[in-house]
Amino acid sequence: MADARYPHLLSPWRLRDLELRNRVMFAPTCPVWVRSPYDGVFTEQAVAYYEERARGGVGMIIIGGTLINRDTIYSPFLFPGLWSDEQIGGLAAVAEAVHRHGCKLSVQLLHVGLRAATAFKTDPAYDFDATWHMSAPSAVPPGEYPGALMPKELEEHEIQAILDDYESAARRAIDAGLDGVEFHMAHGYLPWQFLSPLYNLRTDGWGGSYENRLRFSLEAMRRIRSAVGDEKLLGYRVNSTSFWDGDLEPDDVKQIVTDFDQRVDVDYVNLSAGVHHSYIHTPMEYEEGWEREYTRAIKEVTDKPVFLVGRFNTPGAAEAALAAGDADAILLARQMFADPEWVNKASAGADDDIRRCVAANYCWRSVTRGGRVQCVYNPEVGREAAWGAATRQPATEPRTVLVVGGGPAGLEFARVAAAAGHRITLLEAADVTGGHTRAYGALPHRTEYGHIGTWLTDQAAKNGAEIRTGASVDASNLDTLLAELAPDHVVVATGARVRRDGFQGQTARPLPGHETGNCVGWDQVALGEVTPTGDVLVIDDLQDVAAPLVAHKLAAGGATVRLLTRWPMIAMDTAGDVYLHWMLTYVYRSGVELLCDHFVKEISGDRVTAFNIYDPQSVRQLRADTIVMATGRAANDGLRPLLLERGISTETIGDALAPRGTYEATFEGHRAARRLSGTAAPSAAPTPAGAAA
């Protein structure tokens, strides 16, 4: 039966011989739930992770890039494999858990080709006979990062072996009880490398002409279909475009899709876009469903179902895309990290309760540094067995708790603790809650980030927490508040303040002469508390989005802006979030002058003496009517000693403990609330799925 509010999105439908309960799917994303990349075996952590999303209501889950052979292992990603029968058991355990909730399951088969690094395989503890190179159709290195390894050009027997590996991996997936497989030929991986004239420079039967470049994908999918049989799903993921000069364009892809329809027994087209330097993980300012024009074009040439991905956060936007005929199913990727209960909430009419993805891309950052997928403000990701929806229960002994501070740490504590039945009062000194998420959300192009604080506030209040703003707490009123509220426990979540004196790690001191200049914090500029004009110097030691976007904002407003940093470039810390591309674009287009490799020797009124840290004799005198500091922060930790003096049960969380980020703040808030109820069980070491713990 179709849902009255979302009749397209939440209606059942058929895909080959499968009946799916709705048109929402968990997109193939980084399946980093293995004990070791060398064995590629799913653990019990994987079972809980995928079961949580099946329980949350999606119609089908497509497990992301699963490696078809050992030679394509690549660092730093902790990906599973299907090159060995020993990997079947872990995948089977996932399938059993997912099917238990009425959800279908497929897996994406991956060979990365040239797009990888080999550090895992060069580990002295690994196989001495491992290949210390990547292989590709031609000796063309990836172009999106420096120092990329030149791959070895594949020989005929190696191509045939890889095709055999696709077939064997597909057979193992079906043996594990899955409903189908997906051939991954998007994002510049091996099949795309054969297809694209940018990467494929061969002159034999595997390259040159369009027909020859198509040959690898055709042969791979034919072998996969033979392995899975006639009843199971076979789909493929392909780029609509890579946004890369010289690569395949949308019209090329339309021809490829047409040929696949005619020559391979496939069930759907899963359309994506981009390569890893940008667009796969689009920034937060992109609108929901921004790829609709590409799926619409593909639907003109195929009668197969076409899947649409692209920043979908709300059920309304997903429904609109389906109703317009732009796609046949909606894929949720990052949104499923943020809230695995998205479908259930949409079905219940609880759209406002959905924890909306803000596209901070902390998920990708956590993966690219060799870790597990994490969400910037959903601490339950990867901890589903201990903290998932099925673990929520009322507190056996509700307590009265005072939370001081309404940033992400305090709000997450209040949200979780109030939901468990504790009596929570939260006091925030500012007129608005949100803490540092409010300042980051006030930056240009970052409005979505402010939603974190808004959502946490709304959910805490909905769960029963009393939230008071404009309510500071200090020595003068602490005793009165303690007498009024009589808390059993006090949580100090007072956050941190941006240093206006330029304190940083280079000298571990404030900048000399800071007291003589007109020095302000970047947060003051972002929030509109000050509006510098004239000559402005932004000093950046953070290397995040703050300094570039403040500089961009001021330059766009007419100021003459220089951005000074001791580092060799700006925004270095945003590379892991896939925001470096955008930061550089904004800064260069707004005319900001960059002074990299420079440090401040002295501030003297409206004059700043700066020097090149690699050539200290090279000195510049800079005029600055205003100096904007994006340097260190200091914890607001003065309340804890006052509480300890009074013998009050207390703990400190988030930036008040040590200034860090939103991820750490929400995690500590969540953990502290769970501990209050006695449900903050620590995670054990990953255990292979189906094995004894």
Task: Answer yes or no: are the C-beta atoms of 154 and 208 closer than 8 Å.
Answer: no
Distance of CA 140 to the CA centre of its chain: 29
Task: Answer yes or no: are the C-beta atoms of 655 and 495 closer than 8 Å.
Answer: yes
* DSSP codes joined into one string, 186-243: -TT-HHHHHH-TTT----STTSSSHHHHHHHHHHHHHHHHHHH-SSSEEEEEEES---
Angle between helices 250-263 and 210-228 (to 10 degrees): 50
Distance CA 284, CA 449 (A): 8
Cα dihedral across residues 411, 355, 277, 148: positive or negative: positive
Residue tagged active-site, from 6, 74, 189, 199: 189
Distances (CA, A) of 383 to 50, 111, 417, 686: 11, 29, 18, 11
51 closest CA partner among 74, 33, 78, 70: 33
**Helix, strand and coil percent figures for the chain, each rounded to 5:** 35, 20, 45
Write phi, then psi, for 40 (nearest 5 degrees): 60, 30
Distance CA 117, CA 122 (A): 10
Distance CA 268, CA 265 (A): 10
Let me know how long the chain is: 693
Tokens of residue 596, six digits = 């990299």
**Coil, strand, or helix at residue 537?**
strand
**Coil, strand, or helix at residue 75?**
strand
Tokens of residue 119, six digits = 């550090």
Task: Answer yes or no: are the C-beta atoms of 522 and 629 closer than 8 Å.
Answer: yes
| Neighbouring-strand partners of residue 62 | 106
Task: Answer yes or no: are the C-beta atoms of 571 and 544 closer than 8 Å.
Answer: yes
* Residue 588 annotated among the catalytic residues of the structure: no
Which residues are known catalytic residues?
189
